[in-house]
C-alpha cells in the first residue's frame, strides 16, 4: 500500500527561510519545491527522514555567581531524543568555575554528542 502526502516546511539552513513543499511517499521525500538553493533539498530530506536539533537548556552549578549553567549539545541530536536528553541532564550538577565550551557531559545518551557550557561561570566570592 503506497501512502503519500505533501508537507510544508520552512527551511532553516540559510537566512532566506524558503517555504518548502515536500511530496512524501511511504515516509520518504520524493520531491522538494520552493527552495532557492541546494541546502533546501538537503534540509527537507533530513527533516522528513531524521529530524535533528541542537538541545539548549540549563543545569545546576554550585559555587558560581549564578545558579544555572546554560549548556547545549555540540551537534544536533535526533528530535525523538529531546525529552529523554532533558531528563538525563536534570541529573547533573557541576562545580564552578566552568569555561565556555567546556564539555559537561560526554556522549549524551550514547549519541556520540557532547554537551558543552554555553558561557563561562566564575566562582562566587
pLDDT of residue 2: 60
- Retrieve residue 79's grid coordinates: 528530535
Residue 122, domain member (yes or no): no
* Coil vs helix vs strand at 52: strand
This prediction's pTM: 0.82
Q: Which domain holds residue 32?
A: 4-49
Residue 109, domain member (yes or no): yes
Q: How many separate domains does the chain show?
A: 2
Quote the DSSP letter at residue 2. -
Residue carrying the nine cell digits 502526502: 5
54 C-beta neighbours (distance < 10 Å), count: 11
pLDDT surpassing 60 at residue 1: no
Give the pLDDT confidence of 19-54 residue by residue, as tens digits.
Answer: 999 999 988 999 999 999 999 999 999 999 999 999
Are residues 60 and 110 both part of a single domain?
A: yes
CATH number of the CATH domain containing 70: 3.10.530.10
Amino acid at each position: 500500500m503506497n501512502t503519500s502526502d505533501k508537507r510544508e516546511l520552512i527551511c532553516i539552513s540559510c537566512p532566506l527561510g524558503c517555504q518548502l513543499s515536500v511530496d512524501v511517499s511511504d515516509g520518504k521525500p520524493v520531491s522538494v519545491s520552493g527552495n532557492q538553493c541546494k541546502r533546501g533539498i538537503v534540509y527537507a530530506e533530513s527533516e522528513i527522514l531524521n529530524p535533528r536539533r541542537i538541545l539548549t537548556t540549563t543545569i545546576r552549578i554550585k559555587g558560581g555567581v549564578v545558579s544555572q549553567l546554560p549548556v547545549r549539545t555540540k551537534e544536533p541530536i535526533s528530535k525523538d531524543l529531546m525529552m529523554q536528553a532533558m531528563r538525563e541532564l536534570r541529573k547533573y550538577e557541576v562545580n564552578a568555575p566552568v569555561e565556555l565550551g567546556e564539555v559537561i557531559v560526554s556522549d549524551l545518551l550514547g549519541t556520540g554528542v557532547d554537551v558543552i557550557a554555553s558561557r563561562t561561570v566564575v566562582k562566587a566570592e
